[in-house]
Chain A
């Protein structure tokens, strides 16, 4: 839900216009959530500063400092974790599209031309004459190349 805002906002304006009600609702929730996260972060930082203060002032119980430190670290850890999690979700939501590549080949001289896919291309379509021998060329391949990191498992 949080992650939905950014692709809509960063995408083109048309997309935003299309689903305005949902995007504005999502934006409201997300800004509220962000506020909470940053408030937690600020409060826990205050707790940490207080803890250091207590530690360095004489005649104070050191255990109070301990509690404050605990609260401070927990707060910082929690808020950064949530923040990172939302970032990750935003990244995951962005639909990535690797480019689709068309290979045009000359039957006669084997001249190969690799370009981006254009609407109307199809495999085994005869297209523009060859640059070298003026023979008609043929689209022999259309594919997309996915570069995925493969997680190594033992199986």
Chain B
């Protein structure tokens, strides 16, 4: 009896301790919190995610506006146009390209190539109008700059679309998807922002490492135009004859290596011992920048037209194809070339020589293709 009384008294004392007779308020508050979170937890979550997306959207807008401004500045500086290019640039940023219909896929590569050619011609003509004083190299660089600004504009618009849609519908699933891919989207946007700067200045980028390898090999040898925006040089290498192909520098372009390889094979009537392709490749997280790997197959990115063409022409003559890749991440690929990547060029050349020694005989003919955007790299 006595003990029970003491316990109750103690309990009362503890319960009442901080706020005395108002301790029930605390109790009610705890219940309110509990129920609010139980029923509105998801809504609260949605709002938090929306805020997060909003933050990234602000940043995207900042990056996009800065990119547009940089592009306009570069055009004004290089092009010396009499009229203000701003309106034209804004129109350019909204250009779109419609990919050919793939319902009946036969012959689609030709159609895609044609559309891409039309697109490029149109872009270059527009750049010429914006920057009448620019030479060929500068037009290529400005076109690349504008394309990067276009990509930033597009990313911003897509994210804004889904953000506003999510806000309108308050659908957790729309917002969640957006929030989940945002880190990757932001990474890409930052990469494009860096690329834009490099393009405007005409600096070599990480993606150009393949072209740089080819340029090292062609150094001191006469070059000729072999396909549109593509050059080739005949280089003696380890007792073999190497036809080194790369895009024509130093303006920003990737050329048409597919067409170039086809032409070289035809010139030699298919008597090519091997083809070696050198390209930058996206590394996985954890791999070193500038690491070199070797394999087989046509190492070339882009829309796939060139890869298709190379594969077609080697199939006809059953020419073996080897690939040497230099690893880098997306950020490195489009921003000014890193020292590690630059230093990988020597190692890549060593690898190429090794492949040639192992896979071909003396007196053979080989094709070496340096794939990539040759901006800031001559020959």
Binding site for B on A (CB under 8 A): 1-4, 7-8, 14-15, 18-19, 22, 26, 61, 63-64, 67, 93, 95, 97, 100, 117, 119-125, 141-146, 153, 155
B58 and A142 contacting across the interface, CB-CB below 8 Å: no
Which residues between 39 and 63 of chain B lie within 8 Å of chain A, taking CB atoms?
Answer: 51, 54-55, 58-59, 61-62
Q: Please measure, in the bound complex, the distance between the C-alpha atom of A144 and the C-alpha atom of B328, giving whole angstroms.
A: 14
Q: Which residue of A lies closest to B66 (CB)?
A: A15
Interchain pairs with CB closer than 8 A, number: 94
B250 and A123 contacting across the interface, CB-CB below 8 Å: yes
Task: Tell whether B240 is near chain A: CB-to-CB under 8 Å.
Answer: no
Q: Please measure, in the bound complex, the distance between the C-alpha atom of A2 and the C-alpha atom of B341, giving whole angstroms.
A: 36
A19 and B65 contacting across the interface, CB-CB below 8 Å: yes
A119 and B201 contacting across the interface, CB-CB below 8 Å: yes
A142 and B59 contacting across the interface, CB-CB below 8 Å: no
Which of B167-175, B176-184, B310-318, B331-339 touches A? B331-339
A124 and B342 contacting across the interface, CB-CB below 8 Å: no
| Cβ 8 A contact of A122, one of B62, B202, B342 | B202
B-side interface residues, number (CB < 8 Å)? 37
B204 and A142 contacting across the interface, CB-CB below 8 Å: yes
Q: Please measure, in the bound complex, the distance between the C-alpha atom of A123 and the C-alpha atom of B58, giving whole angstroms.
A: 37
Specify which chain A residues have a CB less than 8 angstroms from the CB of B58 in the assembled complex.
Answer: 1, 4, 22, 26
Task: Tell whether B105 is near chain A: CB-to-CB under 8 Å.
Answer: no
Task: Tell whether B326 is near chain A: CB-to-CB under 8 Å.
Answer: no
B54 and A1 contacting across the interface, CB-CB below 8 Å: yes
21 A–B contacts, CB within 8 A, in A order? A1-B54, A18-B65, A19-B62, A22-B58, A22-B61, A22-B65, A26-B58, A63-B18, A64-B18, A95-B190, A120-B202, A122-B204, A122-B376, A124-B378, A142-B337, A143-B336, A143-B341, A144-B338, A144-B339, A146-B339, A155-B286
A142 and B203 contacting across the interface, CB-CB below 8 Å: yes
Specify which chain A residues have a CB less than 8 angstroms from the CB of B193 in the assembled complex.
Answer: 95
Q: A18-B69, A22-B61, A141-B342 are in contact. Are A124 and B336 (CB under 8 A)?
A: no
Q: Please measure, in the bound complex, the distance between the C-alpha atom of A26 and the C-alpha atom of B194, giving whole angstroms.
A: 24
A8 and B62 contacting across the interface, CB-CB below 8 Å: yes
| Cβ 8 A contact of B336, one of A2, A3, A93, A100 | A100
Q: Please measure, in the bound complex, the distance between the C-alpha atom of A34 and the C-alpha atom of B100, giving whole angstroms.
A: 53
Specify which chain B residues have a CB less than 8 angstroms from the CB of A120 in the assembled complex.
Answer: 202
Specify which chain A residues have a CB less than 8 angstroms from the CB of B339 in the assembled complex.
Answer: 143-146
- The minimal Cβ–Cβ distance linking A67 to chain B, given in whole angstroms, is 5
Q: A67-B18, A123-B212, A124-B377 are in contact. Are A144 and B59 (CB under 8 A)?
A: no
Residue from A3, A100, A155 with most neighbouring chain B CB atoms (10 Å)? A100
